Amino acid sequence: MNRRTMLSTVLVMSFATLPLRAQDGDSSKPADEAKPAQPTATELASQQAAAARETAEAAFSKLLTGATLVGNFTTDSDQPVDPAKLLRPDRYELATVNKIKGDVWLFVYVHKGVPLPLTMKVLWAGKTPVLTLDEFTIAGMGTYSARLMFHGNRYAGTWQHGKAGGLMFGKIETAEFKKERLANPTRKAIPPKQTEPEVK
């Protein structure tokens, strides 16, 4: 076999094996390059719910960080109570409110200028956060149980301290609201002078 014939034979054999080599190359692709499976409807719903909860939790933290709860509380009584004495003013200043893990949150409550870190539970009724206390002891202050719901810029719920208990509710003065109020203080309205009616 001369040199030219040998070269032709080698070329023909090389081209003949190309399809086989291509098939071998395709079959050797790693499994992780395969097209990923699409999530099921249940998995997709779970992912969406988790994302919605994460967004709601971030909004709740932002709402209460630097905020002040300003409102009133009542005390239950079996005896008739003068309506004028039924409501008593209430105020709670919060430095920061952040989620720790699961349902556990860290509330830094400012009591008489002193920050008190309190680890408390927040449960969710759909999109609504509910601060939940069951026999929760605060050193030097006592043991409390409560259910406090937050919705928009308002809060409302119940409280129990030993044998005393009642309702509590009010508005949330956010950090942004307080900053804006300081920048633009409202002027107190001066009531008009009252004069005696003219007798004719």
Complete domains list, the chain, with CATH: 48-74+84-183 (2.40.128)
Q: Which residues contact 117 (CB under 8 A, 6 or more apart)?
A: 106, 107, 108
The predicted pLDDT at position 10 comes to: 47
Q: Please, which residues have CB within 8 angstroms of residue 116's CB and are 6 or more apart in sequence?
A: 108, 109, 110, 138
The first and second tokens of residue 108, run together, are 């830094």
- Distance in Å from the first CA to the final CA of the chain: 145
pLDDT at residue 21, rounded to an integer:
47
| pTM (two decimals) | 0.70
Predicted confidence at residue 60, as pLDDT, reads 97
Q: How many CA atoms lie within 13 A of 136 on its CB side?
A: 14
Kindly give, in sequence order, each residue whose CB lies less than 8 Å from that of residue 70, ignoring residues fewer than 6 positions away: 90, 91, 170, 171, 172, 173
pLDDT of 156:
98
- Whole-number pLDDT of residue 14: 53
Q: Which residues pair with 147 in a beta bridge?
A: 132, 158
pLDDT in tens, the chain (200 residues): 555 555 555 444 555 555 544 455 555 555 556 677 888 888 888 888 889 999 999 999 999 999 999 999 999 987 777 877 889 999 999 999 999 999 999 999 999 999 999 999 999 999 999 999 999 999 888 999 999 999 999 999 999 999 999 999 999 999 998 888 888 876 554 555 554 444 44
User: What is residue 199's predicted lDDT score, i.e. its pLDDT?
Assistant: 47
Query: Residue 1 has what pLDDT?
Result: 55
